[in-house]
Structure 1
Amino acid sequence: MVLAVTAVTATATALTATPAWALDHNVFMPGVPSPSTQPVTGENSGSITAVTSSGGILTCVDTGASKALKATGTVRVGTRVLDPPPIGWVTGLTFSNCTVSGQIAVVTPQLPWSLSLPGPTASGATAAQLGGVRFTVSIPAMGCSVRFQGLSSGNGTINGVHANPASAGAASTLSLPFSVASLHAIVLYPCPPGIVRGGDQLLINGVITLRGVNSTANEGPTIT
């Protein structure tokens, strides 16, 4: 299964191996003390779509009652914040209104995940990486369930880009463009052919808007 996710939110658990980078960043949110660790919320911008290398397609959509994805977590605010350790953490994450081949699917993340910044900021955009990624997709009507993770249980990663708020009081965004991610399928209960097989690689694409819980106008993080 190559999962393509068109809207994922998050922020999360430490990487099991020490990253090759060691950078510092300035992280700012108006109206909060510096340095401090601040709560943030996130939600998808658009629907979520995921595809496996075997051809399975997962789709999570917004409805009037709920977003396809909602997340909670924390971000370290301050000057010259060293990374590692991670800049942020995803501690709560829910996926809603998801289907595979027209059947209801349940996506269950295993948390926390980490948010690290492995590159410098240029024109308001900073390379980002979610670490410790693990989640299970179950399709009750098909009687199948698959866990996506790294080659070990704690080292799954997804690469992305953080973009600073476009104006005062705006959200920042975490975009997860299609790229190679260290996520692979472990079959717990087999799915029908054409959905997913053990060892399938997972790619993810999504856009998450981030807002500070305590910042002025709930403005999202600015990273330089």
Structure 2
Amino acid sequence: MFSASITGFITGFSLILAIGAQNAFVLRQGLARNHVFLLCLLCAGSDALLIAAGVLGFGVIVELYPLLPQIMTWGGAAFLIVYGAIRLWAAYKGEYAMQIAGQSAGLWATLGTAAALTWLNPHVYLDTLGLIGAISVQYGDVAQKTVFGIGAITASFVFFFSLGYGARLLAPVMQSAKAWQILDVLIGVVMWLLAFKLLS
């Protein structure tokens, strides 16, 4: 049982560790120090639902609706292109008084963006429903499979809350508009690269 939970934790953590749209957004909000708890809870909670679905065998739905991955790919790429453009436009304007003062967009706008970055990202389904679901198949026993899933879900909560609250360690560096401009340019470029990767 312990082995299954550790395997689940390591698998979940390794899949989520890569820099992606969702992680970049959590990092940015963590730096602004606004809505961090609810944002991290939304991201980790979404992962928990998807991981649970993957372990329970969500792949059956994809078999029933083979066009679903393609539809999600186009929707995700469109959102990433738009969000990347927003970040690049913000960098061009260079108006960061709110961020430097520790303010950001409202709660619902923040959670809405996070939900879109999570649920419109086809890679999150590949990772949680596909890979984690496939790895869980090796555990024939329901108890072991459950413990594996719990381990992967725990990794998601540890990662997002560490990223969200750990970002404040970079706060002293982010006290100038130039630093925020650089961050937004990097995020914008990452978003566009991810969109290109989805479409190619």
TM-score, normalisation: structure 2: 0.28
Task: Give the structure with the higher percent strand.
Answer: 1
Q: Highest relative contact order (Cα 8 Å, sep 6+), 1 or 2? A: 2
**Structure with greater Cα Rg:** 2
TM-score, normalisation: structure 1: 0.26
Task: Give the structure with the higher percent helix.
Answer: 2
